[in-house]
Chain A
Amino acid sequence: MPYDASDSVVQLLDVSKEFMRDKIRIPVLTNTTLHIPKGDFAAIMGPSGSGKSTLLNLAAGLDRPTTGRVIVNGQDLGVLSEAGLSRFRSENLGFIFQMYNLMPVLTAFENVELPLLLAPLNRAQRRQHVEAALRIVSLADRQDHYPRQLSGGQEQRVAIARAIANDPVLLLADEPTGNLDATSAQEVLDLLELLNTQFGTTIIMVTHDPKAARRAKRLLHLEKGTFVQADIEALETSR
């Protein structure tokens, strides 16, 4: 099937993924094909264990598909070595986790600076990037705070700053509001929306929360290893 790679940031081509557990094969994704165009904000919903996280991991090159190809930003991840994948992640991707995953021993500033240490930037340039990222998430005044001194919502905003610090083309968010209260969740979603509309960052967000999914431009529903038809408007009316 011919496809136009130029406007797709993520392409999963006939991807299958199965895990082995106690010598039993567990199929998670079966012959799944997916195109995420540049500038998209896609929400992925689906029951627990349906393979949502697995899908994000494949798109991030953190795991490899059993069969099929994963192409991100024009790069076939299958041809990259481990070191190549690391480098690719550092240059192209931002990751947001449900549990924030900040380094507890580093300050907000130092956490955001982490991915920049892999970029060819000097100290002053890194500082600029970190400060800009923290300003976007409205935490410039908290740069010297450690994660334990921040609320969950603030931690997640620091994590977002870390994810966007080196201007990734693609943001992958795995239940970014899953651990937050309603207000903090709103703030995080506002931020993601801002990044998508103002900065044109492509976002794939896995979520359980219909309210979160509604903020996306597109809804994908993952069930029994493949995507099924989903209607974001239907979500809206069900609220």
Chain B
Amino acid sequence: MIPIKYNLRSLWARKVGSLMTIASTGIAVGASVFALGLSAGLDQTLEVSAGPLDIIVLRQGSSSETASGVSEAVAREILALPGIATDQQGRPLAAPELVVVTYLPRRGNAGSANVTIRGALPVSRDLREGMKVVEGRDFQPGLREAIVSRKLAGRFEGLGMNEEFVVQDKSFKVVGLFEAGGGATESEIWTDQKVLAQVANRTGGTSSVQIRAASKAAQETLLNHIKADEQIALKAITEVQYFADQAQAGLVLRLLGQIIAFFLTIGAMFAVANTMYGAIATRAREIGTLRSLGFGRGSILTAFLLESLVLCLVGAIVGCLASIALTKLFGGQSAGTMNGVTFTEIVFAFSFGPNVLMKGALLAVFLGVVGGFLPALRAVRMKVVDALREV
């Protein structure tokens, strides 16, 4: 076999061409990894939000809490259903919750967006295991106080610690910041349910009822029971299903990322092919010499494919690192997008797991093989006597 150092050093010998190709593949792989990291981050956010035994009850025909309503009476009826898990004191792990949307200005004069405020009950917290106040304190019932997701606090005016924001002409004070394990709750503001109901003129009912079933079987029974009860006209879905529906969130963003990555990849493919064609044309005599020494066609093909692969893999590493560094640099990895179902801001973290990086590496291999194949084939097809006559 032709030693790989021959190819590595040849790459090094024409630094400018190699660097340009590395940059090109780097941009393509970087953009793809960015798009994949964004999609994976969104999916992860929505995925960790869902408790496996949890159920969300909404009004029939609505696909999100913001567009739903459940009356107080019906909510009481639901809380009395059998099969609901209970806490140590024997109280049902279920909470009618009120969701209101308010329009808040982004920090840095970046326009405004809808933000979700959840009017919660004490038991609401038991239904979100990952949620904890990490700065300040919890809101007090009866007061216009709120706790805000730490990620959200950095993105909107008035949501920082001790700042105030306005809902329906009434201002709320931020007394604490919370984290919720990266789930959808991290895109929310929480406050006392009664206070929020009054401020938003939503007394007499809530948006949804959140239920934790006692078991898988109980979950099934509860779902069927609520669906079958035509009088209450509600729909019940598992939280897993609910968030899967919400995964439509950021569809435009995802699509855009993928389209850009696609075209950059096509561009990179041409760059690789162009570089390799150039490399092979200028090294025709070397190729002819290698053949005259007894190296076969397979050796030549392998050598030049490897050369193109190395080029792309280096590009991929550069691209992945740049992508990760860029997202770290801007907004500490967290980004926001519009939830396409609720039209509220959803905050998520880019996720560059092994899965995403693996796909980046695969893309590099694809680029190297596809971009390098035709040029390598030309090297193989070269007639030795003609190659040797090249100057």
Contacts and interface: CB of A to CB of B under 8 A. Distances in A.
Contacts of A117: 1-3
Interface in A92-123: 93, 95, 97, 99, 101, 103-106, 110, 114-115, 117-118
A110 to B, nearest CB: 7
Contacts of A86: 291, 294-297
B317 to A, nearest CB: 23
B: interface residue count bin: 20 to 34
Interface string B349-391: 0000000000000000000000000000000000111001001
Given A62-B388, A63-B385, A101-B286, A106 B6 contact: yes
Nearest to B10: A105
A118 B299 CA distance: 10
Contacts of B9: 105-106
Interface of A: 54, 57, 60, 62-63, 82-83, 86-91, 93, 95, 97, 99, 101, 103-106, 110, 114-115, 117-118, 162
A89 B293 contact: yes
A110 B5 contact: yes
Given A101-B289, A103-B286, A110-B3, A57 B294 contact: no
B292 A118 contact: no
B285 A101 contact: yes
A82 B297 contact: yes
Nearest to B298: A83
Nearest to B386: A63
Contacts of A95: 289, 292-293
Interface of B: 1-3, 5-6, 9-10, 12-13, 285-286, 288-297, 383-385, 388, 391
The 10 closest A-B pairs by CB, nearest first: A90-B294, A105-B9, A101-B289, A86-B296, A89-B294, A62-B384, A115-B293, A63-B385, A95-B292, A118-B294
A106 B5 contact: yes
A82 B288 CA distance: 14
Contact of A105 (B13, B290, B384): B13
Contact of A83 (B286, B289, B296, B385): B296
Contacts of A118: 293-295
